[in-house]
Structure formats: structure tokens, C-alpha cells
């Protein structure tokens, strides 16, 4: 394996300690830089020539890619803020532009958010021996990025990102719980409120807000002829949340309306909301839901039960067996 392939294996950018673990010396790196096969982006850091990734930019600034910038690159659901999120050691004082080490960092102009390493998250260089120091990485792990996000973003956004990472199996709950235990109550609460069954960030946000209102619900409930619905309040109030990615095509529009019709045929009360409505008009949604619950329209009426309602057409996802079961009682 040559040094270029080693750099590729390390994600396209590498510190000399990581290269040393693969058997490459500083002399090897200097020779590759002189030949134009690699470029030096910071002292002891090299990358493949032409690599303009966020990880390279973060190293050039003076730290590691983290928080939203790292999570977006891993396809974790998170908000967009247009900033480059960089984690730096607590004693780092010199930061440079993402484009050039010769230009001092202007956080507003260069759109860079500096995160200081959380105390207790990663041992600082002065608390470990040089021999025990692990190779430096250009990008944080998903777990570390999530811990940094909890201090950076609104609670609902952070929990939505945790849910997404758990669903995608990019991290384990045990790993997050272990890390949060050494941090703050805010970190422990965010991990405790996460749910690996949440299908999207929108579902997480709605779930947390309904929980805050004290309105009981179930998530990802399977209904015969429809599939799983995002949230079910009481017996029949179905909440469907349309993310931008999966509900923007004409085919998706037609499918969603077909689901609504099937739900109406079975006497459910479907409510479908867009990404923008959940993100920016939740107060209006909340008022509508509270109205339905106050009027007890989320429960089957006596007449509906006499007509055969009051049972959910469901199936067992483990066995594939279809059947009927009574709705769980809710207030």
C-alpha cells in the first residue's frame, strides 16, 4: 500500500500519527507533497491533492469536523445552518480561515462555529502521555459529534439527530449513555428522551411536543391497507409528517393521498403536515390537535363502535400474520 492509498483509507486527510500507525514516516509524506501527490494543509497534516472536503477545511481551521457538519456528512437528520462546525482543544488559540492557514479566522465572514472539546469527553493532550496519545483524526466520531450537538442546537433538534443516528445504526444507545454519563444532566436527558423507532426528525419533534403537552400517543403503528402511520393519538387520530425528501414527487403525493383515503374509509381521522408546518407553524398544529382531543374526537364514539370500529386492522411484523386487535385505551 502506498501513502496515497493510506490517505484514502484514512478518509482523504491524515495526521502524521495516523500515517505512522500504517508504517509511513514524515519523510514519506514530504516526498509525496514535493511530488504533488499530496498537499500539506497544516503542520503534520496532509491530504490528497485537490481534496476540498469539510474535513480538510476543519483541519485547516485548527480542529476536527464535528456537530452538524459531521452528522450531515453521515446522512444523519439535522438542521441546516450553513456553518462549518469545528471542534478544537480547550487551549487552542490560533484559528485560520477554512481556505488558507495564512489568513486568520473571522468566524462571521468564514461562517465557522468553534466548539471547545467538552470536559470529560476526550482526554486533553496534557492529561495523557505522548506514548498513549491516539492518532488525531480530521473528523469526530458520530457519538462525539452528537455530544457536541447537544450543547450547540435546540434540544428537539439534538434528540432528532440522536434518533436518526440510532435508526441508521451509526452508534449504539449504550455508547451514548456511557458518554453522556461523564458529561452533564442536559446530555443524559437528551439521550434518555431519544427513540430508535423514530422514522424521521419531524416525527421526533412532534413526539417531543406531544409528550410535553401530556397527550398520549403511539408511534409507527401498523394499520392494515395503509402500512405504518407516524403517530396515532387515542383510537383514531392519525398524524402523518411529510419530510421534504420523501414527499416531494408526484408519485409520493398520489401515494400519500391514497393512504388518507384508506384511513378515512376505516373511520380514522388523518392529519397530514408538511416539513415547513412542523418546523415553523407548530403552534397552529398544536391548537388543532388539542381541539380534537378536547372534543374527544380522537376516540371512537359509541355509534362507531357499534358499526364495527374500535379495532385496528394490524399485522405482526415479525410473523406477517394479519389480524384485528382492540385499540389501547387512552384518555
pLDDT of 121 above 70: yes
Q: Which domains does the chain have, with CATH numbers?
A: 1-51 (no CATH), 61-192 (no CATH), 201-326 (3.40.960.10)
Residue found by looking up cell 403525493 in the block: 253
pLDDT value of position 313: 52
- 15, 11, 133, 85: CA torsion to nearest 10: 90
pLDDT of 249 above 70: no
pLDDT of 321 above 50: no
Query: What band does 29 get if pLDDT is binned at 50, 70 and 90?
Result: very high
- Please tell me the pTM assigned to this model: 0.77
pLDDT of 112 above 70: yes
pLDDT value of position 326: 37
Phi, psi of 228, deg, nearest 5: -80, 135
Query: What band does 316 get if pLDDT is binned at 50, 70 and 90?
Result: very low
88-110 per-position pLDDT tens digit: 988 888 999 999 999 999 999 99
pLDDT value of position 31: 94
Between 128 and 56, the higher pLDDT residue: 56
Average pLDDT over residues 32-53: 93
Q: CA-to-CA distance for 1 and 6, rounded, in angstroms?
A: 7
Average pLDDT over residues 188-206: 86
Q: CA-to-CA distance for 261 and 29, rounded, in angstroms?
A: 64
**DSSP result, 86-113:** EEE-TT----B-SS-TTSB--TTTTTEE
264-296 per-position pLDDT tens digit: 988 899 999 988 888 889 999 999 999 999 999
Distances in whole angstroms, Cα of residue 112 to Cα of each of 69, 187, 220, 279, 286: 10, 23, 38, 24, 35
134-182 per-position pLDDT tens digit: 468 899 999 999 999 999 999 989 999 999 999 999 999 999 999 999 9
pLDDT of 314 above 60: no
Query: What band does 244 get if pLDDT is binned at 50, 70 and 90?
Result: low
Q: CA-to-CA distance for 93 and 330, rounded, in angstroms?
A: 56
pLDDT value of position 310: 60
pLDDT of 27 above 90: yes
Q: CA-to-CA distance for 112 and 306, rounded, in angstroms?
A: 62
Mean pLDDT estimate for the chain: 85
Amino acid at each position: 500500500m502506498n501513502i496515497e492509498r493510506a490517505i484514502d483509507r484514512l478518509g482523504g486527510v491524515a495526521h502524521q500519527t495516523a500515517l505512522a500507525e500504517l508504517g509511513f514516516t514524515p519523510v514519506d509524506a514530504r516526498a509525496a507533497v514535493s511530488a504533488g501527490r499530496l498537499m500539506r494543509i497544516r503542520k503534520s497534516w496532509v491530504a490528497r491533492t485537490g481534496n476540498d472536503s469539510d474535513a480538510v477545511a476543519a483541519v485547516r481551521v485548527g480542529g476536527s469536523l464535528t456537530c452538524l457538519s459531521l452528522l450531515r456528512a453521515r446522512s444523519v437528520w439535522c438542521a441546516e445552518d450553513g456553518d462549518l462546525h469545528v471542534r478544537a482543544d480547550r487551549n487552542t488559540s490560533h484559528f485560520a480561515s477554512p481556505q488558507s492557514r495564512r489568513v486568520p479566522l473571522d468566524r462571521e465572514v468564514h461562517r465557522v462555529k468553534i466548539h471547545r472539546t467538552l470536559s470529560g469527553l476526550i482526554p486533553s493532550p496534557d492529561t495523557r502521555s505522548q506514548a498513549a496519545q491516539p492518532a488525531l483524526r480530521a473528523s469526530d466520531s458520530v457519538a462525539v459529534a452528537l455530544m457536541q450537538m447537544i450543547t450547540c442546537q435546540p434540544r428537539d433538534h439534538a434528540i432528532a439527530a440522536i434518533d436518526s443516528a440510532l435508526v441508521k445504526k451509526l452508534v449504539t444507545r449504550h455508547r451514548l449513555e456511557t458518554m453522556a454519563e461523564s458529561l452533564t444532566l442536559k446530555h443524559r436527558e437528551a439521550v434518555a428522551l431519544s427513540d430508535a423507532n423514530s422514522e424521521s426528525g419531524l416525527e421526533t419533534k412532534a413526539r417531543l411536543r406531544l409528550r410535553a403537552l401530556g397527550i398520549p400517543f403511539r408511534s409507527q403503528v401498523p394499520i392494515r391497507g395503509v402500512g405504518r402511520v407516524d403517530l396515532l393519538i387515542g383510537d383514531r387520530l392519525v398524524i402523518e409528517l411529510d419530510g421534504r425528501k420523501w414527499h416531494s414527487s408526484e408519485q409520493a403525493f398520489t401515494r400519500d393521498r391514497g393512504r388518507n383515503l384508506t384511513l378515512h374509509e376505516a373511520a380514522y381521522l388523518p392529519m397530514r403536515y408538511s416539513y415547513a408546518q412542523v418546523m415553523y407553524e407548530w403552534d397552529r398544529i398544536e391548537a388543532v390537535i388539542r381541539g380534537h382531543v378536547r372534543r374527544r374526537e380522537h376516540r371512537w364514539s359509541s355509534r362507531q363502535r357499534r358499526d364495527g370500529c374500535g379495532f385496528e386492522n394490524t399485522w405482526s411484523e415479525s410473523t406477517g400474520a394479519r389480524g384485528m386487535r382492540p385499540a389501547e385505551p387512552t384518555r
